[in-house]
Structure 1
C-alpha cells in the first residue's frame, strides 16, 4: 500500500487535511483527562458554626450551669473537620462538622466543595480520577476489537460526538455518583477517540514515515494542557459547571467532523471492500490533483499479490491430526485465503498456520496466549501502560503543589511535557 500512497503524494492536500482532522481530537482528550485539577480544586474550609443548643456531649446535653455561663466559661473551636468545646483549658466535647462546612470561596467553585467531599470523604475526588482511568482501560480493550470489526471512521465519529455529549452532561450531574459514572464514560470514549485517530494516522502515512504521526501527537498533548490552564484561569471565578461546559464546548466541531474524515484505505483493503477503497483513492487523487490511474493500478497489483491465482501457486500440507491447522510452504505474504481457510505467515515466512475463516478472529486472539514472544511483549506493554498512566496522573496531580499558584504549577508541568515531546521527536530519528 505504500506505493499507492506514494503515487497519491504523501504530503498533498488530501493527506494534510486528514492529518490535521485526526490530530485535533488529541486536544479534546487532554482537556478532560486532567480537568479534575481545576473543577475539583481543594478549597480551604472549616466547620460551619453550630448553635449552642445543638452541641451535645457524648453522654448528653451540656449542663444547665454551663449553658447559663456559655459565653464566659466555654470556648468553641471550629476546625477543618471537627468542633471542639473547651471549658477554660479542658476539652469537654468534640464532634464532627454536624452543620456542614464554611468554605473560603463559593461552594460551586469546585465539585469537591459543592458535594462536601472533604474530611471523611476526602478520598472521593481522587476516586473519580481512578474511575476515569478504569474507563480508559475498558475502552482500550473494547474499542480495539470494534475498530477492526466496524471500521475506523464510524467508531472515530461516534466516539467523538458522544465524548462531546458526555462532557456537557457531566456539568449537569446533580450528585457525586452520577458524576463518577460520566467520568467513566469519558475515559472509555477518550480511548475510542485516541485509538481510532492514532490507527488512522498510522495507516495514512507510508511505513518509513509513520513515526511522524506519533511525534506530532506528542506535541498536541502539551498544547492541550496549555489551552486548558489558560481557559481555566480565565474562568477561575466561575462555577466548576461553567468551566466544564467551556471545556466541553471546545469539542463542538465533532458535530461536523464526519464531513472531513475518511475511512482508512488500508482497512478497506484488508476487509475486501475494494470498490470503496478505489473510490476513496480516486477522491484523494482528485483532491491532490494527480492522475488516479497510476494509484489505482498499483492498488490492484497489490491486491493480486495477496491472493493466489491458482492452487499451483500455494502448496498446503494439511495436518492429519487436526482439521483446523495446516502447515506448508508459500511465498512471503501478509495473509492468504486458501479455500475456506486463512493462512498467516509464521517465523521466517516459509511456513504458515491455517485456520477456518469463521474462527479466524478467535485464532488470532489466542495467539496472545499460545505464542510466548507475543505474550511477553503484550504483558510488558500492558504493564507499561498502567504504570505510565498512574504515574502521569499522579505527577499532574502534584504539579500545582510545587508552587503556591495552581496555574503556575500547571504551566511548569506543561514545560516538562514540551521538553519530553521534543526529546521524543528527536530520538526515534537517530
Structure 2
C-alpha cells in the first residue's frame, strides 16, 4: 500500500535516492529530451555576456589620439610662457613645447587639458582624461577585473555549494547587470575602477554556477560533449565580440546587454544531494512533462531498481556508490585540493591552461 501511494504521489524520500545515483534518474527522464536541450541553450547563450565583461576594456578603454589643448580664446599663451616673440608653440601629447625651430626653449604641462580626435564618450580614456600621468588608472581597471575574478571564484564556489547553483547564478547575473549599467555612467575614474573589480567577482559567479549547473544537467557520459560545446561557444562568442563592440561603439551603450536565467530550474543533483526532496520532485515532474515521459512509469522504474538492489544484497553498509551530500560522506574543502594528488594535478593543469 505504501509503495502504491508513493507512486501515486510521485514522491521519493532521501533514503531511497541515496541508494540510487542521480544519473540513473536522469537517464530514465531521457537526457536528450526537450528539457535538457532548452536548458543547454540557456546556459550556452549566457556564456558570451560573461566573456564580454572580461575583455571589454580592449574596446571601452582603447587609446585615443590626443594632444594638449590650447587656451579657450586662442590668445592665452602669454599666461604660460610670457612673451614668445618669434618662438613656436608645439602642442605635444603631454606637454606644451616652446621651440625656436631647432631646439626646445621651454616646456609646460597641459594646463588647458587635452584635445581628443574622437568623441568624449568613445573611451574612458577621453572621458576621464586618463592620459600622461593618469594613464595608469586605465591599466589598473583591467587588473582589478582579474583581481575581482580571483576573489569571486573563491566566494561564489562556496555560495554555489551552500545555497544552490540557480540562486548564485540569478543573483550574480542581476548584480552584473547593475554594475554594467553603473560602469557605463560612472562619474569618475575611481568609481569606474571599483566597479570593474565588482564586475570581475560577479562574472566569476556566473561562470562558476553556470558551469556546474551545465555539468550536472546530464549524466556523466555526456561530459566530453558538454566540454566541447562550452569551449566552442566561448571561442565563437569571443570572435563575435569584435563585431558587437563595433556596433556599440559608444561605451555608454555597450554594457546594456543582459540575459536572464531566473526561469531555469535548480540542479536536480544539488537538490537531491542536499536533501531538498520536495523541490527535486517538482523538477522531476517538470522534466518528465517536457520530455513527454510518464512520471508514474519513471517512478516505477526507480522503485524496481531499488528492489533489485535490495534483492542483490545491497545493504546500506555495503553500498560502494552513494550520492555526494550524505551525512556519512566527508565534506571536502578548498584545502583538500592541495591534499589529494589527483585533484592537485588536475588543478595545476587547469591553472596553467588559463
TM-score if structure 2 supplies the norm length? 0.83
Name the CA distance, whole Å, in 1 between partners of 2:186 and 2:306: 52
Does residue 1:342 correspond to 2:328, yes or no? Answer: yes
Q: Structure 1's 297 and 192: CA in aligned 2 closer, same or farther, altered over 3 A?
A: farther
List per-residue Cα deviations over 1:9-48 (Å, max 9, x = no partner).
Answer: 1111111111111221102112222121221121111111
Q: 8 Å contact 1:4–1:298 — kept in the other structure?
A: no
The residue aligned with 2:275 is: 272
Higher strand share goes to which structure?
A: 1
Deviation of the 1:83 alpha carbon? 1.6
List per-residue Cα deviations over 1:313-340 (Å, max 9, x = no partner).
Answer: 53xxxxxxxxxxxxxxx542346899xx
The residue aligned with 2:11 is: none
Q: 8 Å contact 1:198–1:213 — kept in the other structure?
A: no
Does residue 1:368 correspond to 2:337, yes or no? Answer: yes
Does residue 1:126 correspond to 2:139, yes or no? Answer: yes
Does residue 1:42 correspond to 2:53, yes or no? Answer: no
List per-residue Cα deviations over 1:280-339 (Å, max 9, x = no partner).
Answer: 1122111111112343345567889999xx9x853xxxxxxxxxxxxxxx542346899x
- Partner SS for 2:321: coil
- Partner SS for 2:328: strand
Deviation of the 1:366 alpha carbon? 4.2
Q: 8 Å contact 2:273–2:323 — kept in the other structure?
A: no
Q: Structure 1's 98 and 300: CA in aligned 2 closer, same or farther, altered over 3 A?
A: farther
Q: Structure 1's 305 and 382: CA in aligned 2 closer, same or farther, altered over 3 A?
A: farther
List per-residue Cα deviations over 1:329-362 (Å, max 9, x = no partner).
Answer: x542346899xx6345xxxxxxxxxxxxxxx4xx
Considering only aligned residues, what root-mean-square deviation do their CA atoms show, in Å? 2.8
Name the CA distance, whole Å, in 2 between partners of 1:374 and 1:27: 29
List per-residue Cα deviations over 1:117-153 (Å, max 9, x = no partner).
Answer: 1122223222111111111111111110111100111
Structure 1 spans left out of the alignment, 5+ residues: 57-61, 315-329, 345-359, 389-430
The residue aligned with 2:27 is: 6
Q: 8 Å contact 1:47–1:78 — kept in the other structure?
A: yes
For these two proteins, the number of residue pairs brought into alignment is 326
Name the CA distance, whole Å, in 1 between partners of 2:337 and 2:202: 25
Q: List aligned pairs for 1:11-410, cutoff 5 A.
A: 11-50=32-71, 51-56=76-81, 62=82, 67=83, 70-72=84-86, 74-87=87-100, 89-236=102-249, 239-244=250-255, 248=256, 250-251=257-258, 253-254=259-260, 257-259=261-263, 261-297=264-300, 314=317, 330-334=318-322, 342-344=328-330, 360=331, 364-378=333-347, 380-381=348-349, 383-384=351-352, 388=354
Name the CA distance, whole Å, in 1 between partners of 2:309 and 2:103: 88
Q: 8 Å contact 2:273–2:325 — kept in the other structure?
A: no
Deviation of the 1:265 alpha carbon? 0.7
Name the CA distance, whole Å, in 2 between partners of 1:160 and 1:336: 27
Higher relative contact order (CA 8 A, sep 6+): 2
Q: 8 Å contact 2:164–2:270 — kept in the other structure?
A: yes
Name the CA distance, whole Å, in 2 between partners of 1:53 and 1:306: 95
After alignment, is 131-140 or 41-50 more displaced? 41-50
Q: Structure 1's 303 and 228: CA in aligned 2 closer, same or farther, altered over 3 A?
A: farther
Q: Structure 1's 53 and 210: CA in aligned 2 closer, same or farther, altered over 3 A?
A: same
The residue aligned with 2:6 is: none
